[in-house]
Amino acid sequence: MSRKNILHIVLGFVLCLSLSLSPIAVSQADAKKIVLRAISAWPRNENSVAMDYLPFIDALNKKLAKKYPGELEVKYMGGPEVIPTMDQPEALRMGTVDMYFGTAAYYVGIAPAANAGKLTELTSWEEKKVGADAIFDEIHRKKMNSAYLGRLGSEVQFQLYLNKKITTPDEMKGLKIRTSAMYVDFLKALGATPINTKPGDVYQALERGVVDGYMWPLFSIRPWGWQEVTKYVVGPPFYKVCHPILINLKKYNKIPKHIRKLIVEVMMDEARKDAVRDASDSKKEYDMFKKAGIEVIKFSPADTKRYLRMAYDEGWKGQLRMEKEYTSKLKKLLTK
């Protein structure tokens, strides 16, 4: 038996045990209730990306208890402390957990076309209207053994953070930048050297000079403490976070249609709330950077335009190299 299979058996046992630690007397209604074991790629703390997810779970459970009591409940199991971030997509595919909130960048090797979501120019609800959601759902069903519900945090963009001062994109040449599949093509086009490390290793990599910087969502570096070892935030924000909510397909197929409909309705409501909040918080974040001693460096208007054009041109080129069929369709739908 492989190490990975052993890992998932152990994790499955632990999760099942945690759910079973309740009073012995269980009502007939509770016995029939569908329970979704939910995890997040990020830790549960203030300013964490997980804070887009937890309000959704809370709102959904309240709506379910009110409209369809005893039919379904979502139980949040935790984040990387429960299952390591990079093992979570496989845990979802295997059915070790039922619901996952993460990023397509963490399973791009399994479902490369899903990563096209980073290049969208639409909101979550606009993607649903134009039919992009249906394509993402097909991709995830085929590749991830899961149903795609949509994504949260649709107005959050990425930012370049450095410990070496630059004033133009040309000065990125030769810099070592922590990356994920989300922006590796962009970094290569800039002449930087992509370095692949787990999020949990970034602090030490910055501290020791293993990397000169990193790219990360605009206002989620503080949960990791990276503001303590970051000197500059550079250039304009780019792309959008691709944080989908996925449900293991076997478990999803057991959910009645009226419950599925409610889940999507609640998720879209939360996506709209997130968009308003995230847009406001993004504007405030640059002041937070300054208070933390991080210098904000803006490119010239011409360099800003060139930087952003390169980001999207290289992003789509990279996506099309990895996968053409779905990516071609998504490019037409996600570009205004």
What are the pLDDT digits (tens) for 280-320? 777 788 888 888 899 999 999 999 999 999 999 999 999 99
Q: Please give the pLDDT value at position 96.
A: 97
pLDDT of residue 126: 92
Q: Rounded mean pLDDT of 208-224?
A: 88
Residue 5 has pLDDT above 90, yes or no: no
Query: Is the pLDDT confidence value at 26 over 50?
Result: no
Q: Who has greater pLDDT, 194 or 24?
A: 194
The CA-atom distances, in angstroms, between 329 and each of 135, 186, 276 are 8, 21, 28
The pLDDT assigned to 208 comes to: 94
Q: Above 60 in pLDDT, residue 72?
A: yes
pLDDT tens figures, 133-167: 999 999 999 999 999 999 987 678 899 999 999 99
Q: Are strands 232-238 and 158-162 parallel, antiparallel or unpaired?
A: antiparallel
221-230: string of b/e by CB count within 10 Å (b at 16+)? bbbbebbebb
Give residue 150's pLDDT.
92
d(CA 103, CA 195): 18
Confidence band (pLDDT; 50, 70, 90) for 223?
confident
- In this prediction, residue 143 carries a pLDDT of 97
Alpha-carbon span 194 to 178, nearest angstrom = 6
Determine contact, residues 148/244, Cβ cutoff 8 Å.
yes
Cβ distance 201 to 179 under 8 Å?
no
Contact predicate 220/49, CB 8 Å: yes
Percentage above 90 pLDDT, the chain? 68
Band of pLDDT at residue 47, cut at 50, 70 and 90: low
Bin 175: left if φ > 0, else alpha if -120 < ψ < 50, else beta. beta
> Tokens 């649709």 map to which residue?
154
Q: Which residue has the higher pLDDT, 334 or 23?
A: 334
Which helix or strand (DSSP H or E) is residue 67 part of? helix 54-67
Query: Is 158-239+284-334 assigned to CATH 3.40.190.170?
Result: yes
Residue 1 in this model has a pLDDT that exceeds 50: no
- For range 10-31, the mean pLDDT: 48
pTM confidence score: 0.80
Q: What is the pLDDT of residue 24?
A: 41
* CATH 3.40.190.170 segments of the chain: 3-156+241-279, 158-239+284-334
The CATH number of 3-156+241-279 is 3.40.190.170
Answer whether residue 278 shows pLDDT above 80: no
Is 190 a residue whose pLDDT tops 90? yes
Q: How confident is the model at residue 217 (pLDDT cuts 50, 70, 90)?
A: confident
Residues 6+ apart with CB under 8 A from 269: 59
Contact in structure between 30 and 20 (CB atoms under 8 Å): no
